[in-house]
Amino acid sequence: MENTFNNKDSSKVPPSEGFREAYTLHLADTTLILAQRNSEWCGHGPILEQDIAITNISLDLIGQARNFYQYAASLIGNTDEDKLAYLRTEREFKNLLLVEQPNGDWGQTILRQYLFSQFQYLLYQQLQNSKDEQLAAIAAKAIKETSYHLRWSSEWVIRLGDGTEESHARMLNAVDELWSYTGEMFIPAEYETISGVDYTLLKQSWTEKVNSVFSEATLIPPSGGGGAVFMQTGGKEGRHTEHLGFILTKLQYMQRAYPNSEW
Amino acid sequence: MSTNTIHKKNIYTCLEEIKDPEVPVLSIIDLGIVRDIKESEEDGIEIIITPTYTGCPAMDMIAMNIKMTMASYGYKNIKVTSVLSPAWTTDWMSEEGKRKLKEYGIAPPNPKQQVCHENLFAPNEAVQCPHCNSHHTHRISEFGSTACKALYQCDDCKEPFDYFKCH
């Protein structure tokens, strides 16, 4: 199957060299790594319906990742979606640090999904109006699925946060584990200047929504005791936590062990 | 009718034979995923399709089946192109398709968009049981056996069933 990419106007937008490729890869890597993480739940979910839900979300994210990789490959040239996913090293991956964090318990997986889906939904809202027609098309297509992910994960954050003593304690722990990886979403890397996204607005809307869901869930976002909360950064530039290497080892095993194998 | 129109109609008739591998009663025409057919002397026939869901794993198989079916009717030089915009919606599913779905035991998408909203803990959509036609049903899971379906159960006949959720 061939894909058409509406990048015929690329000459009109003169971003700095390679920015568009890097930004597309950042979007691709982020969706792929979260899909891979969520897929670790396959067959292990707390109940069958939720096992199916988290793996369905994985599948949607892999679909988005494929669209981004295919587009990136068309921009870069002389490569394809598989090479980009399976043959790049840890330092070349530009995904958000949040999505590579371990699944932890169900509460931590749910919270990671919620913090990300809330961000992704608002990001795609802006991106669907991008001047880059292909990124706009992918965002407009994917936002419909993202609204399912967002609703599902929001409901679970509320259910668990405002649930039993045990589930509440676990959600507090999940907030502690993940919060410092959320700041990075709103600090644009150099290549993100071509995205046309208003990161100030994005952060503001995200914070409002998260506060509202947290308040219903009887959870409180860390305040840093009056000072700024320390936020981890680096994923967008290829500086990752120790977890990404292990994820790639598993994800890329077949292509590394049997180069060019197909099935 | 010009020869060109007749020709296109014939191509559509061929495409009617190609079924969704996950829901084998629906043709790709019923699903509304065939968006356009283009023809030119030098490039041959181009069939333009769009995925239902971004991660739908059936797309590669559908593309291959289009090429094989068209070849079996003697069409040569077939190209299948996938486009994302405008995004597919269940509104594009034909009435015939909805009827076939129900017959097959899958509740067809409700005509009005009721699911694609942000509201949390919204009441379940009133989905009609494809077996006994009762509206007295409840949702078991928003996510089902494929990306396009949710799982429901009928409170009257007690049968569980798939709902092709509106999108």
Q: What is the DSSP string of A143-165?
A: HHHHHHHHHHHHHHHHHHHTS-H
Going by their DSSP bridges, the two strands B149-154 and B160-164 should be labelled as antiparallel
B34 and B9 part of one domain: yes
Q: Flag whether A7 is in a domain.
A: no
Find the residue in B nearest to A118 (Cα): B118
Residue B5: exposure state from Cβ atoms within 10 A (0-12, 13-18, ≥19) = exposed
Residues of A contacting chain B (CB within 8 angstroms): 1-4, 6, 49-50, 52-53, 56-57, 59-64, 66-67, 133-134, 136-138, 140-142, 144-145, 147-148, 150-152, 154-155, 158, 213
B119 and B53 part of one domain: no
Q: Do B51 and A148 touch (CB under 8 A)?
A: no
- Low-confidence stretches of chain A (pLDDT beneath 50): 8, 13
Which of B70, B88, B106 terminates a domain? The answer is B88
Q: Flag whether A9 is in a domain.
A: no
B122 and B140 part of one domain: yes
Interatomic CA distance for residues B17 and B27, integer angstroms = 6
Whether B123 shows a pLDDT value over 90: the answer reads no
B129 and B55 part of one domain: no
Give residue A89's pLDDT: 97
Q: Which are the contacts of A90, defined by CB distance < 8 A and separation ≥ 6?
A: A238, A240, A244, A245, A248
Q: What is the pLDDT of residues B17-62, one digit of tens each?
A: 999 988 899 999 999 999 999 988 787 899 999 998 888 888 889 9
Number of domains in chain A: 1
* Tokens found for residue A73: 């490959």
Q: What is the largest CA-CA distance in chain B?
A: 59
The ipTM estimated for the assembled molecules is 0.85
Give residue A223's pLDDT: 80
Number of domains in chain B: 2
Find the residue in B nearest to A157 (Cα): B120
Q: Flag whether A2 is in a domain.
A: no
For residue A84, the enclosing domain spans: 19-221+228-257
Q: Flag whether A56 is in a domain.
A: yes
Is the C-alpha dihedral spanning A30, A130, A202, A113 positive or negative? negative
**Helix (H), strand (E) counts: chain A:** 10, 1
Give residue B56's pLDDT: 83
Q: Do B55 and A66 touch (CB under 8 A)?
A: yes
| DSSP bridge partners of B46 | B38, B79
Q: Flag whether A10 is in a domain.
A: no
* Tokens found for residue A51: 């096992």
Which of B53, B70, B88 terminates a domain? The answer is B88
Q: Flag whether A88 is in a domain.
A: yes
Question: What is the arithmetic mean of pLDDT over B129-139?
Answer: 94
B9 and B84 part of one domain: yes
Q: What is the pLDDT of residues B58-110, one digit of tens each?
A: 888 999 999 999 999 888 889 999 999 999 999 899 999 999 999 999 999 98
Give residue A177's pLDDT: 96
Give residue A161's pLDDT: 98
B136 and B59 part of one domain: no
Of A63, A151, A155, the CB nearest to B54: A63
B9 and B73 part of one domain: yes
For residue B48, the enclosing domain spans: 3-88
Interatomic CA distance for residues B7 and B18, integer angstroms = 18
B12 and B74 part of one domain: yes
B122 and B53 part of one domain: no
**What's the CATH number where A143 sits?**
1.20.1260.10
Q: Do A64 and B117 touch (CB under 8 A)?
A: no
Q: Flag whether A79 is in a domain.
A: yes
Whether B122 shows a pLDDT value over 90: the answer reads no
Which of B34, B63, B88 terminates a domain? The answer is B88
B72 and B129 part of one domain: no
**Three-class DSSP category at B49:** strand
Mutate to test the interface with A, among B18, B45, B85, B167 (most CBs of A within 10 A): B85
Better-scored residue on pLDDT, A132 or B166: A132
Report how far apart, in Å, the C-alpha atoms of A103 and of each of A30, A80, B55 are: 15, 29, 22
Q: What is the pLDDT of residues A43-63, one digit of tens each?
A: 999 999 999 999 999 999 999
B106 and B146 part of one domain: yes
Interatomic CA distance for residues B100 and A185, integer angstroms = 45
**What's the CATH number where B55 sits?**
3.30.300.130
Which amino acid does the sequence have at B81?
T
B53 and B10 part of one domain: yes
Whether B114 shows a pLDDT value over 60: the answer reads no
